[in-house]
Amino acid sequence: MSKTGNDHPTSRSSWLVTGGAGYIGGHVMQALSETGIPAVLLDIDAISAQKKLTDLSTYENCNVKDKDSLAQVFSRHSIEGVIHLAALKSVEESQRRKDEYFQTNVIGTRNILELMIDFDIKKIIFSSTAAVYDAPPDDNVIDEDSPLKPISYYGQTKLDAEEIISDYAIKYSLSSIILRYFNVGGSFNPDLKDTSLENLIPITISKLKSNQTPEIFGDDYETPDGTAIRDYVDVRDVTEAHMRAIQYLKENTSSHILNIGTGNGYSVREIIDITQEVMGTHKTALIKGRREGDISAITADIARAKNVLDFEAKFGLYDIIQTSIN
């Protein structure tokens, strides 16, 4: 079921949100609804979004790999711009399923861009990742001009997609905002929280709720406590970055790549200890071997996002953990 329009819309009104039924996508869709910005949710499981977004009236079940079906979606709606979130995102899984990650993350992005050109759509906001960066040898604070050398195939597909977007932006005069998320966590409400158990905080919470021992993958990194360090940013802040990016693209025709993080790093051991503190429990973490594709430490330099979007994170680590538990 979908809201339909003319085959060739003449006015631009809606933002197309690919991956809108996912964790970040759900939060973005809710924010668009609350701010009165019309949106079309596109996802391979868009129907499930009805359970989380009760006021959603426009959705499309579609895979970004299927260009013919995508073209039909573009023809049915009056699209002002695209928020491209649809992707496969597991670092570990990407090492084993490279073709599937390439088809979804790279070819899917190319399909979106080709249809944007066909339908004369000039604005795109792209969901990227800090996994595109090289593992920093000394200073772990990364700005947008830091060396790019993904050590995971997931990161490589995101970098490939970024390069395609940048090429199209130059060739076809598109305006683009590429948001390189660091580690996203937390939730606006329980219906929208991350249930994938791909990330440290939901994994740890799930184990503790089940009276299981939390796990640390690698305690021999070159960090103060031997465990990997990451910058954790609240999904509510990530959502706000999208809202600011939409406003920016309404007023400007330039393109930018921006880190979205907090500028603060926490180790895996610290995350587990703080999560147990919040939950009122204590278990000694089980140490396991490193996972392929994980880097030692990475924290965002957030100056450019502040300069371009006037964005900076408002929520902290305790906010992320607390809203992940509820």
Please give the positions annotated as active site.
Answer: 154
DSSP letter, residue 133: B
User: Cβ(133)–Cβ(151) under 8 Å?
Assistant: no
**Main-chain dihedrals φ then ψ at residue 179, nearest 5 degrees:** -105, 115
Nearest in space to 221 (alpha carbons), one of 295, 275, 145 = 295
* 56/9 Cα distance (integer angstroms): 21
Cα separation of 254 and 169, whole Å?
Answer: 9
d(CA 199, CA 193): 12
Scanning the chain, the segments in alpha helix (DSSP H) are 23-34, 49-52, 67-76, 91-94, 98-101, 108-118, 153-172, 200-209, 235-251, 268-279, 303-309, 317-325
Identify which of 244, 230, 251 has the alpha carbon closest to the alpha carbon of residue 304: 244
What's the token pair of residue 30? 């809710």
